[in-house]
A and B are shown apart, each in its own frame.
Chain A
């Protein structure tokens, strides 16, 4: 635990290089999957698949690289609100695209 974390009574969020590299490789793999799936005819599933992969990537970046998992509950709640709003925006947009 760092001195800074001790001073503020925060939880330690030390992440080893190995884990960073592993997550990075995972993100690259997911990017490759997105690109590969773009060339396959999946019909209406293509957007759902792409958004799901993007969401998983966003989740990993927020939690690992931006240390959200070791943050205060208030901050996690704020990010959750932002995520839910984004989800609502996307769903509402598809009231147009899905019913044309």
Chain B
């Protein structure tokens, strides 16, 4: 990609650079984007594992129709916490905050983000929000039991700790806004010489589109949550129908953010897929411009479809028609990405290494999530399956099958760059296999259960649903086993993994031109970019000659 890159081999890596602060302070007060990325990774993984445990317990609970493990109120708390932690503390920040922070400056040839101190402040806000969310569990009153959607009027009337949970989400939103602001400014102002907009890596394009949603949509959820707090404290009557308020207005305002949040979640993972496929297919990406523009199109149209979550709340027919139509439109740019990825793989010299395996799982699972999303976008089907396990299954296919596996792909792809070591690939492949099998055994029954009428969030269920619940629970065991092998393998590789070169995968983007791990300021000299980010023409020519 770059023609005048100077390897910064003489510099110590960023872990070993001498700084004015030592020990833990050199981490929690750092302004280095790479250290902040690692900080996010560590903290988010703690939250992720806590939420996995809650999900695992929920599945155990559903083994028997009458409940097997906990009381109904505890079950309500489980799914609320599982949702809040997974949404606000895992899937929303995981790719942008970890890999965006670590790799966005590297990929555009910059030494850091534009506002390094603001970046650190974003992490501290994230920590504050996370701690507040967890603290709310243990305060008198008990953990919030509203589900992660905080729907009124229940969230106004319940006596559980809704206000701390709302405040936590509010603070986490600020962290997200500031990260988005930082990335937009960084991409506009700090690209290396020669890196025009259409020479940017597609992960950067995806991060750019995501950042705009973070900046434009997150304030809406912020003010909405504050209004619920005001309503709880002062009884103003904004959303509570008994006081003249409108609960449907809450749903509009909640989903104005929370549906675009789905695209905050999925777009960066799509960026990861766009990075990995050309490297492991040894092919120039097919349809670069279309993939770049489709990120912006997803960000735009994805922000306009929120009310498809509300087809059964009594909206006007016109409203339902418009939002159903817009929902179908957003599938077009998503499909463009899928087709271009598959077209890139076509006739490529495919190396089925660990990152690509996770990407292939992503493509299949995200496609299932997308198709079931189209079913939900159709008014007639939506009314039948609203608030059933079908929605939960669809949601998890997009969030976990898509973004979760995109995160695993990114982690296995960039791990050598981040830590300078390679994990055990055999164990990683076993982890991929178990995770993929476990995930699908867990969530395919959800789709069937939902279509058969199993409502979501129910503690008890009819006996005829038990077989599929048991199958799903067995799937959760396989999935957790896969996750366990994956993270133990990655953790052990931190110390025991073989040391890697600067470019173990043969990538063409700028992050692979620096040592692994990179030095403090990334590059000795800022690179000059003269070519596109995925120039594999030499491999393609060689393949043609062989043919």
Contact = CB atoms under 8 A, between A and B. Distances in A.
A92 to B, nearest CB: 6
Contact of B319 (A82, A88, A95): A95
Contact of A95 (B215, B220, B303, B322): B322
A97 B317 CA distance: 10
B513 to A, nearest CB: 30
Interface string A11-51: 00000000000000000000000000000000000000000
A99 B216 contact: no
A99 B319 contact: yes
A93 B248 CA distance: 11
Contacts of B256: 89
Contacts of A81: 216
A61 to B, nearest CB: 15
Contacts of A99: 316-319
Nearest to B326: A92
Interface string A85-100: 1001100110111111
A96 B310 CA distance: 11
B140 to A, nearest CB: 38
A39 to B, nearest CB: 15
Contacts of B322: 92, 95
Most-contacted residue by chain B among A85, A92, A98, A99 (CB, 10 A): A92
A81 B307 CA distance: 22
B49 interface: no
A92 B315 contact: no
Given A96-B316, A99-B317, A100-B316, A85 B303 contact: yes
B315 A96 contact: yes
Contacts of B307: 92, 96
Interface in B285-307: 303-304, 307
Counting contact residues on chain A (CB < 8 A from B), the size range is: 10 to 19
A96 B220 contact: no
Contacts of B252: 93, 96
Contacts of A92: 304, 307, 322-323
Nearest to A84: B216
Contacts, number: 37
A82 B304 CA distance: 14
Contacts of A95: 316, 318-319, 322-323
A29 B216 CA distance: 29
A14 to B, nearest CB: 26
Nearest to A82: B216
Interface in B191-247: 215-216, 220
A74 B303 CA distance: 23
Interface in A62-79: 74
Contacts of A74: 188
B245 to A, nearest CB: 14
B220 A89 contact: yes
Nearest to A93: B252
A93 B256 CA distance: 9
Contacts of B216: 81-82, 85
A87 B20 CA distance: 48
Interface in B9-49: none
A34 to B, nearest CB: 16
A9 B319 CA distance: 49
A85 B188 CA distance: 20
Contacts of A82: 215-216
Contacts of B319: 95-96, 99
A49 B29 CA distance: 49
A89 B303 CA distance: 9
9 contacts: A74-B188, A82-B216, A89-B256, A92-B304, A95-B319, A95-B323, A96-B307, A97-B316, A100-B316
Interface of A: 74, 81-82, 85, 88-89, 92-93, 95-100
Which 3 pairs across A and B sit closest by C-beta, in order of nearness? A96-B319, A99-B316, A99-B318
Given A92-B323, A95-B319, A96-B316, 18 more contacts: A74-B188, A81-B216, A82-B215, A82-B216, A85-B216, A85-B303, A88-B304, A89-B220, A89-B256, A92-B304, A95-B316, A95-B318, A96-B315, A97-B316, A98-B318, A99-B316, A99-B319, A100-B314
